[in-house]
Amino acid sequence: MTNRYERLRMHRRMQRRIQLVVEERRVAFAARESEPGVDPEATMEIPPPELPVVVPQRAIGRVAVPQA
């Protein structure tokens, strides 16, 4: 029978071994791919849309008041 300390120690060792295997597989898969990986944190330039030239619109909620 193992005590609590030994169980925790065994659990940590097992987790560390799993982590090493995961890292090793990640490196192996990365080396296998010929195209570079995509960086999800990378930013990209989005050009502004080309709008047709029109007269400036009035602000939302404003109406033209007829002059009396």
pTM greater than 0.85 (yes/no): no
pLDDT in the model for residue 8: 94
Contact (CB, 8 A) for 13 and 21 = no
Compare 51 and 14 and report the one with higher pLDDT.
14
Distance CA 50, CA 47 (A): 9
pLDDT in the model for residue 29: 82
Compare 39 and 12 and report the one with higher pLDDT.
12
Per-residue HEC secondary structure of 8-28 comes to HHHHHHHHHHHHHHHHHHHHH
What is the tens place of the pLDDT at every residue in 25-50?
A: 988 887 776 666 677 778 888 888 78
pLDDT at 23 over 70: yes
